[in-house]
Structure 1
Amino acid sequence: MSQPTTIVLFRNDLRLADHPALWYAAQRGPVLPVYLRHAADSYGSAWRWWHGESLLKLQAALAQRGLPLLLRSGTAKAVLPEIVRASGADAVYWNRRYDRDGIAEDQELKSLFKELGVEARSFPGNLLVEPWEHLREGQPYRVFTPFWKAMLARHRFPQPLAEPESYRAPTAIPASEDLARWGWHPRDPDWSIGLARHWEVGEEAAWRRLRDFVDEGLAHYAEGRNLPGKPFVSRLSPYLAHGEISPRQIWWHLSRLAEEQGAWRRNVDAFLRELGWREFSWHLLYHFPDLPREPLRPEFQRFPWRQDPAALRAWTRARTGYPIIDAGMRELWESGWMHNRVRMIVASFLVKDLRIPWQEGEAWFWDTLERLEKPHPARVFG
């Protein structure tokens, strides 16, 4: 008698190693990997380009292991029950999300599948610590330093899971959509040529980037991260954003390295603290779900912002006359990335000097193409 299939729902976790939902599904029996494109997705063009390329890499890696990657369009509530019926699956697994909309959708899915008699399980796969497990006297943290010191003191982060040793394919595989028809790769003109010149995409590329950082930048990181003209930063942010590598993998890889190379401890700790900032951001978003639209401190609702289209345009076009700001914006246009220290200067200049609402800067960073008269290769990765 064949074993029932487990559907694994991929999202921003496009990897095979340290993917808890995939690992536990593979121990259970046949696995059907699924990725859903929501019709209402409003991701920026750079995100779509990178994610599409990463899906191609994931699809190829799964095919080498005898598994498909089923691609469908639509909401999980509308599409997954049909895939369950067509595949004969009796379980759906996924890694957790922490934004309000994602949490609400996943809770709705669990209720729906409970009614259908289908097992639905979520796993912690994208953070070092779950946001509700790290509180101060029952309340969320609002300041980074106490947040991070307490996290290091209280928690031992789980070791990453290996990729499953073997996979079993399902006997029934529903039809899949064609990724090329989703229109995620830009056309007329193809501005992604500049991005492809600067980046490799995918899980294997993420590990190459980490190893290159260890070889070329880590030994200088504590001081070198303050020097935008030097190659001493990791450039791992897009790989983390798309889940091609996990924070647990980075944490344990570098922690072991620091134990072996004691002289590197200071630099490793400085970099791991940056992973802490990522944790802190998700911690804030989970506990303060209005943060993408509203300030954390209510008094800033009354801040006297200026409406200055000419100044905003100069900022977006790298024509402020301030070399470090304009250089950062040009770097963004060319490579889809900006050095962390320059990011802080650029953002600070917009809100503190020009006093232009931060939402205007976020909109530009989210997807530059839609804010220009002509297509321009200016992108950022989240």
Structure 2
Amino acid sequence: MDLVLRAARVITPDGEVAADVGVRDGRIAAVTGIGRLDGDRVVELADDEVLLPGLVDTHVHVNDPGRAEWEGFGTATRAAAAGGVTTVVDMPLNSLPPTTDVAALEVKRAAARGAVHVDVGFWGGIVPGNAADLRPLHDAGVFGFKCFLIHSGVDEFPHVELPDLTAALTALPDALTIVHAEHPHDVTESGPDYAGFLASRPHRAEDHAIADLVGVARETGARVHVLHLSSGSALALVADAKAEGLRLTAETCPHYLTFVAEEIADRATQFKCCPPIRDAANREQLWRGLRDGVVDLVVSDHSPCTPELKEGDFATAWGGIASLQLGLPAVWTQARRRGHALPDVVEWMARKPADLVGLRRKGRIAEGADADFAVFAPDDAFVVDRNRLHHRNPVTPYHGRPLAGVVRQTWLRGRPVTGDEPRGRLLSRGET
């Protein structure tokens, strides 16, 4: 073996085991009983460390090119690696141009090439008028298509109406379509304080939109994925769709599983996101949805901006949360309190996101998979300091929050990620 990682605790698809993980040519060549392998290099994890597969985050806004002052491929992927994330899939909007045709995809790939510290794939976008661009984008390797049912926040990526979405899904039944599901008829003008913002985007906005998506999934038979689910009352809709056999899945995010509306101050706009963070009872509904398999996965929806865009009040500030580096400890902190173990977290944050986009070599410690790992100390702890994060702009609602679990090292295809040499690859749909 080129490398052997030896640990008393390794999270595999079969659960937690003591194991040697052997690596050859950047892939996992063997997972055996501890002490059975030898290699050119043998790394023994400390007694308090656990070997996890590298996490897969399929919901990241890098904003590069065009708004690289908000983030950027270099800073975003350093932050990802610092948080144990070895694969990200970049959203098609907030960059300029948005990824709504092949030419824009090539512009984005050019901006990322040679700058990424983890592996990066790309989503395409569905907007009014680009139906003819979807098949070429699909053939060019995007992992699927994102659309909004409500204003996206940027005018260059307009939302679609249900007939547009139905037509797109009918034309591309084999593609994955991911949807920001809030119904515009249920959203009102926000007040300046948090209560006013929360009231402006009520549960029914999500519930109404998700009910529409269930209908579209039923009509077309296509794969539909609900993004950043925040409404616990929508879980029954998702559960019923799955029971019916529809190809509908859903994700939620660390901030919906961590924060509660009751604790958000009126000027704390670092908490603003759409859909919004709801009350404590709703948070517990989301945790039950994860436990029961109604919610499939947890991803960041990392959506940063410059500090001045977060100034003001909840009516005017940019809606997006920066958390790419902190997702694993944030989720683990809450999960362990509810009786979940690390294999559950790995399922939600590594294997299932990888499976969603068809990356069968990612998100698992198994023979044939890429040798992507996170060395995690689950019982270590830290207090978040925004100035020590790798995101381009030090704005996050996690600042000052104590979290359990420290990522001590991240490996990409059998080599440590140091942040000095960008060795990430650009990924395309269909890679096995």
Calculate the TM-score normalised by the size of structure 1: 0.27
Higher strand share: 2
Higher helix share: 1
TM-score (norm 2): 0.25
